[in-house]
Chains A and B, each alone.
Chain A
Amino acid sequence: MSDGNRKTRVSRRKLLRGGLGAAAVAALGGVAGILAPRGRTPRMVWQLDPLKCTQCGQCATKCVLTPSAVKCVHAFDVCGYCELCGGYHQPNAKNLDTAAENRLCPTNAIVRRFVDDPYYEYTIDESLCIGCAKCVKGCTSFGNGSLYLQVRHDRCMNCNECAIAKACPANAFSRVPAETPYIFKGELGRK
């Protein structure tokens, strides 16, 4: 192989490299150019719509976190403060007290407090709640529906793709603007 031949060979390779490099720059620029105008300006976070929720219980199991970032929250201004609470007591509870065999919550995350005859206040201990929706199902079926599930944003990792959203049978999950990250029941939460 002559020297001159080798020289043209090198320059051919250089030309190829230069061309591919320019194509790569164009491709990157193209992706940026196409997608940047469609960019999402308000930051979005995951949330579930309590009106669509069917209380299937998968929020407790499908979240990448253990315990789940979905917790039960209570709309106190919707609650009837019943002594017989569909969200607190087993459907066949013998006594309407705080005994473990009468309670619905598997982790004792609902705190029952006597307020005023005959009213009882139910508050959620979020550090215990696992988001299993047993109480939500009871309250929605037999009560005012004041107990409902929400993604709690002090825990949620805001995954690229929410594992619960993919599994949710009711398609209750969606992204909402980070400025209004909750879908409240009642008026109390909105204040």
Chain B
Amino acid sequence: MNTTPRTHTLVARAAALACACVISLGATAADRFPRPEFEGGYAYPTVANPHPASSAWTYIDTAVLLAALLVTAHLVLRRRSRAGITAMTLFSIAYFGFWRRGCVCSVGSVQNVALAICDRTYGIPFAVLGFFLLPLACALLFGRVFCAAVCPLGAVQDVVVLRPVAVPRWLAHALGMLPYVYLGIAVVMAATGALFPVCRFDPFVSFFRLNGPAGILVLGALFIVLGMFVGRPYCRFACPYGVVLGWLSRLSKWHATITPDECIQCRLCENACPFGAINKPTQAETAEPRGKELRRLVLLLAALPVLIAGGGWLGSRAGKPLSRAHPDVQLALQLDAEERGAVDRMTLQTEAFRATGTPMAAAYADARKIERQFVTGGWFIGAFVGLSLGARLIGFALRRRREDYEPDRGTCFSCGRCFSYCPRERLRRTSLTTTSGTHAPA
């Protein structure tokens, strides 16, 4: 038989492989074949191991964020320039969106902060802390200028507002409770280490990356299409960070105004806001008698603890189902189902867990601990939503005297659309162009 040395080696190697197969059942360290000694100067191919983008970027991003916030505040409060704000919006889509690929973002940073507070071993990157704090500090000073033109998620929705319909006030208020629920769930999920839902279900980040799970891309497309007819649906009815921004904006030192100087009650701006954030003057004739109002207020104040406790109880009931989002709980449930024979196939997770040889009891104990954390967290979510709902109802019941058309400080995004509707603003602009060289009145 004419066998070349090569086939000999092949047979030998096949035999070695067969042996290796048998050995490999027990072996984990793999050094089954000797390294060849090449004749004729073989050199290993070089493999490039690309380094991650420089960490300088995180500092650049934070600096750009601060600069963008200050520029937007200037455009909103001083220049009152909608064109300028639109330019900033486009810049944010380009820079924070497409160039930096939508990550890191302030909206998601809520979760990092929640995790860092609850888990002492988690070190929060400074850029993330900056992205969390800077827009909030600016909201306390200038209102929601972050939403106006800096947030890439808001910016994307702002440029697609085509034919906004007015959402009925009761519906807007009801849907406006959703961000509170989302914020509560996101904080609890992040703090227990289950997942970061705001990042996972961010509808626009896949759009910025032009890549992502199909479901999220579809969700993003739905929000964009919806956003053509309902102004900024994610910002108003989902964004968890907007909740905190809204609180601080209510307390802001300065805030965008519709008129540059005085309101002449011309009602021209009444329908200017696509986001329903303009408050009308209160009408003296429709005011209810004071006694009735007071009684309602007392009733609501008494109902507040009931709302908090009831919400907390409901939330704690939801804790256990919510805990299923945690991978460790999923693992324990699957292990339990396998042990009971309820399922006939192991998952990748249980297979890997069984391979580690950790006792089942450890997995069960871990899952029970997380479940308890979720029940506590559920109390927190429910009580928080109950408190927010109560505070909102009390806000309605409070008599508030308003003589002028004003932006609602909590929900106004400071986008500047209403400026040009105001005849006083038109006067200001004409006076600016005729007496060129002077600056806008503060």
Give the interface of A toward B (CB within 8 A).
17, 20-21, 24-25, 28, 31-32, 34-36, 38-41, 43-45, 54, 56, 58, 64-66, 73-74, 76-84, 86, 96, 115-119, 121, 123, 140-145, 152-154, 156-161, 163, 166-167, 169-170, 178, 181-182, 188-189
Contacts and interface: CB of A to CB of B under 8 A. Distances in A.
A35 B235 CA distance: 27
Given A28-B140, A54-B355, A21 B251 contact: yes
6 contacts: A24-B140, A35-B113, A43-B55, A119-B38, A153-B52, A169-B353
Contact of A66 (B211, B247, B251, B327): B211
Interface string B35-68: 1101110101101011111010010000000000
Interface stretch (B25-33, B79-87, B218-226, B375-383): B25-33
Nearest to A119: B36
A39 B36 contact: no
Interface stretch (B159-167, B173-181, B344-352): B344-352
Contact of A188 (B44, B120, B213): B44
B126 A64 contact: no
A159 B199 contact: yes
B32 A160 contact: no
Contact of B47 (A56, A66, A143, A189): A189
Instruction: Give the top 3 A-B pairs by smallest Cβ distance, nearest first.
Output: A80-B33, A40-B123, A169-B352
B32 A24 contact: no
Contacts of A44: 123, 125
B34 A54 contact: no
Nearest to B121: A38
Given A116-B39, A118-B10, A39 B52 contact: no
B21 interface: yes
Contact of A142 (B21, B42, B45): B21
Nearest to A151: B52
Nearest to A44: B125
Contact of B34 (A24, A80, A84): A80
A64 B42 CA distance: 39
A161 B199 contact: yes
Contact of B104 (A28, A38, A145, A160): A160
Contacts of A96: 10
B213 A24 contact: no
A104 to B, nearest CB: 14
A114 B79 CA distance: 70
Q: What's the interface size class on B, roughly?
A: 35 or more
Contacts of B128: 160
Contacts, number: 179
A45 B49 CA distance: 14
B13 to A, nearest CB: 6
B38 A115 contact: yes
A153 B33 contact: no
Interface string B221-265: 000000000000000000000000001100101000000000000
B133 A143 contact: no
Given A31-B133, A84-B14, A161-B200, A54 B352 contact: yes
B196 interface: yes
A102 to B, nearest CB: 14
A64 B213 contact: yes
B47 A38 contact: no
B352 A160 contact: no
B125 A35 contact: no
A144 B50 CA distance: 25
Given A32-B133, A40-B126, A156-B52, A141 B10 contact: no
Given A54-B355, A115-B42, A144-B30, A43 B125 contact: yes
Nearest to B38: A116
Nearest to A140: B30
B20 interface: yes
B111 interface: yes
A118 B13 contact: yes
Given A40-B124, A77-B44, A160 B55 contact: no
Interface string B98-140: 0001011000100111001100100111101100110011001
Nearest to B25: A141
Nearest to A171: B352
B112 A39 contact: no
B399 to A, nearest CB: 10
Interface in B325-359: 327, 347-349, 351-353, 355
A77 to B, nearest CB: 6
B206 interface: yes
Contacts of A169: 347-349, 351-353
